[in-house]
Amino acid sequence: MPKVRKKLRLLVADDHELVRHGIRGLLQAHSGWEVIGEASTGKEAVLKSKNLQPDVAILDITMPSLDGLEATRQIAEASPQTKVLILTMHESDQMVRRVLEAGARGYVLKSDLAGQLVKAVEHVSRGNVFLTPKVSEIVLQGFLKAESDPKQSESARVRPTPRELEIIKLLAMGKANKEISVALGITVRTVETHRAKIMMKLGLHSLTELIHYAIRHEIIPAPGVSD
């Protein structure tokens, strides 16, 4: 008997009803996807994520009572398995960094919504990082600027070991320490030790910087480029 494929469960949060309606239409036109809830405020998005446990939460970055960034942080605590995709009009490298630091896995410009939303949800639901082509260009420009910084270029001369490269790749793909321990057949404590050594060795201070390092050194593909 063939195995029934589980539906992808989605939550949509935006303070404009017409926008939510449009997003719902785009998502539900995709076979196997189901919008299980909507929210008009950041607090409501957090509460519904906790209660409904969606696979992906699609949040506007600007909402009343709680903005998308803080809502993302709280969703990460209330519903750890939920992947967050941020919608915004902001085209800045600084905002991309803030979004990734908050724990979101995707960044889609509202101007690209119709053409990129389905692809973004597909990537994020698999645990990948997704940026629209426009935002990827902004991020790549940030990489080029970082390369001209002596402190940043210093890390480029340090070579991770094969084991460290495996861990960098898995971390940059959004895998948790426990998932990495299972994948590599090592203890969680060993993963934590490797992670700390990697950050110190490469002069990195956050997961966002590690993701940037992994893309810059082609350990993982640039966001929005892989299938």
pLDDT at 227: 43
Q: Is the pLDDT of residue 150 over 60?
A: no
Closest among 109, 106, 108 to 130, alpha carbons compared: 106
CA–CA dist 140, 51 (Å, integer):
38
pLDDT at 202: 81
Domains, the chain, ordered by start: 8-140 (3.40.50.2300), 149-216 (1.10.10.10)
- Band (pLDDT 50/70/90 cuts) for residue 3 is low
CA distances, 118 to each of 23, 51, 90, 122, 128 (Å): 10, 24, 20, 6, 14
Task: For residue 116, give the H/E element and its range.
Answer: helix 113-125
pLDDT tens readout for residues 20-35: 999 999 998 988 999 9
Q: Is the pLDDT of residue 36 over 50?
A: yes
pTM over 0.75: no
Q: Is the pLDDT of residue 205 over 80?
A: no
Mean pLDDT confidence for 97-119: 87
Q: Where are the beta strands (DSSP E) in 93-218?
A: 106-109, 130-131
